[in-house]
Structure 1
Amino acid sequence: MNVELGISTFGETTPLEKTGKAISHDQRIRDLVDEIVLADKFGIDAYAIGEHHRKDFAVSAPEIVLAMAASKTKQIHLSSATTNLPTIDPIRVYEQYATMDAVAPGRIEIMAGRGSFTEAFDLFGYDLDNYDDLFKEKLDMLLAMNKNEILDWPGGKFTPKVDHIGIYPHPEKPLPISLATGGSPASTIRAAEMGLPIVYAIIGGKMEHFAPLIKLYKAVAERTGQDLSKMPIAAHSWGWLSDDKEKAIKEYFYPTKLLVDAISKERPNWTGMTYDQYLEGIADDGVMFVGDSETVANKIIRMMETLGLTRFYLHLPIASMPHEDIMKAIEIYGNEVVPKVKKHFKDKENKKK
């Protein structure tokens, strides 16, 4: 079992606990590039950056941040997390990521999603009522141009007709494209039927709760004749690392509560976070990965085995943490967590032979 471990981030810019002030967007972006370069140095497999259009996140154009990182790294895979297809032109998405692939051949990926926030609909003039239909049509178009250099597209309600026009640059190999979901059965079925790798945002509840969805994904893929060996199943979950477990637990509560409480004011199905709820999330059966390297590595192993994952992204950090602390957490993850998890699965595979 070849497992891959990465990091995901949204470039958060919320107030820091020690100062009560938020880092500026431009500084967060500069720091983020440095963090990706460090992750590459320590052999972390992938770095994925999300797209948002609001004050508490610095990255509205992940492809530009990824391009900066692509020119400064050697082996790490770079991906969006996600590219919010309903409110963006799929041709421009493909052109941008194909251009990055010229700088970092074979290391560029697109994680397509609908977006968990809705600000971009008003910003770019889209109707939220078309949320799902926009995504489906634009995803189909993106996949079509990824497959063929010359695009023949019939057009639709939300995309123009393209009559035998080349899309350039066009990499020699198709770009890896995965579908991201918060846990929707409909999205799970869609990804499976289309033969797309899937990425679950597992940020609440118990890890076991996602097992039926992954079982559904595999069953639909098999029923529709897809090759599951080419369809990695991934998860991204919140987490934090320190040399000292209790220190990590203490440090991570403030930013986590800050973000959850802020989102709770916008979403009727969310509630503010109490310390007891936080402790449930970081417990052995929770889905937040907080502690020292041993704690986090063991929990990642448990989730990957429980759900049958082949990829895992540690979302680092959630809300804002000091840049120097993030760099230290990346070092611990790359030096200690990633090798331990990979050794576990390699040893397990060798025992089968």
Structure 2
Amino acid sequence: MPIEHIYQQFTTLDQLSRGRAELLAGRGSFTESFPLFGADLGDYEDLFDEKLALLLRLDREDPITWSGRFRPPLDNAHVLPRPYGEHLRVSIGTGGNPQSSARAGLLGLPVVYAVIGGQPERFAPLVDLYRRAGESAGQTGLHVTMGAIGFIAKKSQEAKDTFYPYWLETMKYGARARGWTIPSRADYDAYTHDAQAIFAGSPDEIADRLITVGRLLGADRYAMQMDWAGVPHHHVMSAIELLGTEVLPQVRAELG
């Protein structure tokens, strides 16, 4: 899809939500999309650089005149609608590539780290790289979000048991498509341990983990995806309520 069409979709959402839309720009975790959209995997870096540059220009300029390698030029073009406010919120999403952290810092864009495996603390050098790159470029307003999957229930085991079958379905899909070994329940239990990537547990456990990550990484925001692979709506709503009423007050009391 042309980047200006993506921009239009998000600015439409931004208008409808009165400024609450946020576009997360990343290079993706899979390569299947390249032949699907007629792109050469050899242009991996250049494609992202050009599309991101155009996205940011679209947000700043109306009308816009632009030319690049991978799409026809734009000549005094108006791309509508415009954002609800002065600008659309655009962040860089990354799963741990140092170049993405440096790019986000140099451009002064917020960064969102996808903690999809291992220990969240391993992102500390990347957060430091992001902030150093931004400071070297004179950027202000740098902002770090840590994003991961998880689930909250009144009791720790209830949270882990509820989330497990939906997490497993996603792992099975990936295993079929890519020849991975399907992880076991023991693997899942290890991934939900105190220092690992899946934040599933009781409100007190999740609060403790968020406080720890916040202190270690200096994160400004944490984004938890709880509606993973079809978790029933009533479970998701209950988890959101616990997040707001029992987890958030503890985190704010410790981190402000």
- The answer to whether the superposition gives a TM-score over 0.5 is yes
Q: Is 1:245 paired with 2:156?
A: yes
Give the one of 19, 22, 41 matched to 1:128. Answer: 41
Q: Which amino acid aligns with 1:318?
A: W
**Residue 313 of structure 1: SS of its match in structure 2?**
strand
Alignment pair present for 1:258 and 2:169: yes
- Asked whether the equivalents of residues 93 and 112 of structure 2 are also in contact (C-alpha less than 8 Å), the reply is yes
What TM-score do the two structures reach when normalised by structure 1? 0.67
Hey, what does 1:309 align to over in structure 2? 219
User: Unpaired segments of 5 or more residues in structure 1?
Assistant: 1-87, 347-353
Match of 1:291 among 191, 201, 213: 201
Identity of aligned residues (%): 36
Per-residue deviation, 1:239: 0.3
> CA shift at 1:265, angstroms?
4.1
Amino acid corresponding to residue 102 of structure 2 in structure 1 = I
Cross-structure match for 2:8: 95
Answer yes or no: is the 8 Å Cα contact 1:138–1:159 preserved in 2: no
Looking at structure 1, the residues matched to 106 and 48 of structure 2 have their Cα atoms a distance apart, in angstroms, of 16
Structure with more contact order per residue of length (Cα contacts < 8 Å, sep ≥ 6): 1
Give runs of aligned pairs for residues 165-204 of structure 1, distance below 5 A: 165-171=77-83, 172-204=85-117
Contact (CA 8 Å) 1:242, 1:293: kept in 2 or not? yes
Q: 1:217 to 1:271 in 2, by over 3 A?
A: farther
Q: What are the within-5 Å matches in structure 2 for residues 90-169 of structure 1? A: 90-153=3-66, 155-169=67-81
Deviations 1:312-352 (A, max 9, x none): 11011332322221222122222222233223222xxxxxx
Match of 2:157, SS?
helix
Give the alignment's Cα RMSD to 1 decimal. Answer: 1.9
Shift of 1:206: 1.0
- Counterparts of 1:250 and 1:96 in 2: how far apart (Å)? 37
Query: Would you say how many aligned residue pairs link Structure 1 and Structure 2?
Result: 255
SS at match of 2:166: helix
Map 1:81-92 onto structure 2 (within 5 A). 88-92=1-5
Indicate the SS of the match to 1:263: helix
- CA gap of 1:271–1:188, structure 2 versus 1, over 3 A, is farther
Shift of 1:271: 4.4
Q: Secondary structure at the match of 2:250?
A: helix
Instruction: Give the letter aligned to residue 301 of structure 1.
Output: I
SS at match of 2:151: strand
- Superposed, 1:51-90 pairs within 5 Å as 88-90=1-3
Secondary structure of the residue that 1:295 maps to in structure 2?
Answer: helix
Q: Is residue 113–residue 179 contact of structure 1 (8 Å, CA) maintained in 2?
A: yes
Pairwise CA distance, 1:160: 2.1
State yes or no: 1:209 paired with 2:122.
yes
Q: Which residue matches 1:81?
A: none
1:318 matched to 2:196? The reply is: no
Identify the residue that residue 350 of structure 1 maps to in structure 2. Answer: none
Structure 2 stretches lacking a partner, 5+ long: none
SS at match of 1:285: coil
The runs of at least 4 consecutive aligned structure 1 residues that moved more than 4 Å come to none
